[in-house]
Amino acid sequence: MRVLLIGLGRWGEKHLRVLRGLGVEVWVSDVSPDRLAWAVGEGVDPARAVPDYRSALTHVDCVDIVTPADNHPALATECLEAGRDCFVEKPLALTVAEARALAQRARATARLLQVGHIFRFHPVTECLRAALAADRIGAVRYATGRFAGFKRPRMDVGVTQTDGIHYFDLFAYLLERDATAVTAVVRDYLGRGMDDLSFTTVEYGATPVVVEAGYFVPGTHRECVIVGERGSLVADFGQATVAAHAGEHRRRGAAWEAVEHGTEELKVAGEEPLRREIATFLDCVARRAPTPVDAVAGLRALEVVEAAARSSRLGRRVTLDELKPP
């Protein structure tokens, strides 16, 4: 397998490490000569480190795009039209319209496009899916997700689009249904023209999910809680833990009791999410099989982001039907 990696920033470095570990022939492209020199120092053949990605397209089987989000549509479109399958880091694009156009190009060119929603490949997610499939907590009533911490803001997209989006896609995957409505409060406290704090309630049918994303609270938070009729699942993606809390409310005459039945730490095991994610994409390319997180999945997550911005701006609940093209 021959892979072109476009973009050698902080996350691109991680992709390069994984690609080299997977034993593929790696080509790299970046506009920075310093970053290309760094890649050569990491073992990339100098002949395969190019400033113009176009010069490498005829030499590779697929492309891994890890650039700022505003570059994704143009890069992915050109690579798809050159007949190359694409992995595109999330968010798929800046806007729903751009993502919709990319999904159409992938269909028209009959090329594979996988979006980098990495939480789907996390061992914690696998554990949560297994617990839900086993009916550990009964019917899901609601859930929460928190992707927050004191850190440097990303400069190409707001925090809802870079961090909150993880949970928008994750819960669509766990609950096995698309979002239907959004109510959000979004703020730009730093005055950058992009949000740096958001609280978003996403309705997946009858199931509400509250997602917090922001750059201000101390520490690093990557948690979610799924509450069911017979207990809850409490997960920490940073610590790779999942706890199943069994309990229920019982009526005693005119009163109610909260009855706890104990807590069990569930087994969480699996390989590095990024390695599993990229390996899955390469396997789909090799077998010409559909990717597990296609352009439509990336589009659906962006629809929630756009609905959140609209909800905050208008001060009301926004249905996803409102974002459909006329």
Q: Give exposure, 130-150, as e/b (b: 16+ Cβ within 10 Å).
A: ebbeeebbeebebbbbbbbbe
Residue whose entry in the numeric block shows the structure tokens 């850190």: 151
The CATH label, of 3.30.360.10, 3.40.309.10, 3.40.50.300, 3.20.20.100, for the domain at 120-270+303-323 is 3.30.360.10
Residue 298's identity, in one-letter code, is G
Gyration radius of the chain over CA positions? 21
CA dist., res. 98 & res. 104, Å (int): 10
Domain ranges in the chain with CATH number 3.40.50.720: 2-118+274-293
What is the number of other CB atoms lying within 10 angstroms of the CB of residue 122?
23
Fold of 2-118+274-293: Rossmann fold (3.40.50)
Q: CATH 3.30.360.10 in the chain: give the residue spans.
A: 120-270+303-323
At 116 the three-state DSSP class reads: strand
- Whole-prediction pTM value? 0.95
Per-residue model confidence as pLDDT tens for the chain (326 residues): 999 999 999 999 999 999 999 999 999 999 999 999 999 999 999 999 999 999 999 999 999 999 999 999 999 999 999 999 999 999 999 999 999 999 999 999 999 999 999 999 999 999 999 999 999 999 999 999 999 999 999 999 999 999 999 999 999 999 999 999 999 999 999 999 999 999 999 999 999 999 999 999 999 999 999 999 999 999 999 999 999 999 999 999 999 999 999 999 999 999 999 999 999 999 999 999 999 999 999 999 999 999 999 999 999 999 999 999 87
